[in-house]
Amino acid sequence: MPYPADFKYAKSHEWVKPDGKNATIGITNYAQESLGDIVFVDLPKVGSEITAGKSFGSVESVKAVSDLYAPVSGTVTAVNDELAKSPENINKNAHGAWMLKIDVKNADELKALLSSADYEKFVAEEGGH
């Protein structure tokens, strides 16, 4: 599956779609494949702060929990409530099932993230080991 070119990617498998001062965050298709059937997503409340590199929540499958790491810092402006009812949406369409919308604190942080081509390469290497 191609990784959208207008997204940026973290090595911890979250994607960011920048949109001016705002950004949308989710996890990649590689992540949902590794996790298997997702049963629950634990997300922060609107108004809370997330910090690049730090955990902002977690995603659960039946037998495992994985922390979600913020690719960039900011303030949460919206949370996708659909995921509370239908966490499987992430499995169906990881790049469409957004988790958070934030007010970006520091646009420079985006520079540290991978492009879709670089992410694809990274994932190919990781999957091969």
Q: Which residues bind other proteins (CB under 8 A)?
A: 37, 39-40, 60-65, 87-88
- Tell me whether residue 84 or residue 117 sits nearer to other proteins (CB atom): 84
Q: Which is nearer to other proteins, 19 or 37 (CB)?
A: 37
DSSP state of 111: G
The residue type of 29 is: N
Q: How far is the CB of 67 from other proteins (least distance, A)?
A: 9
Which residue, 60 or 120, has its beta carbon nearer to other proteins? 60
Cα 90 from Cα 43, distance rounded (Å): 14
CB–CB of 87/39 below 8 Å?
yes
Q: How far apart are CA 54 and CA 110, in angstroms?
A: 15
Q: Say how far apart CA 72 and CA 52 lie, in whole Å.
A: 4
Give the nearer residue to other proteins in terms of CB position, either 3 or 69: 69
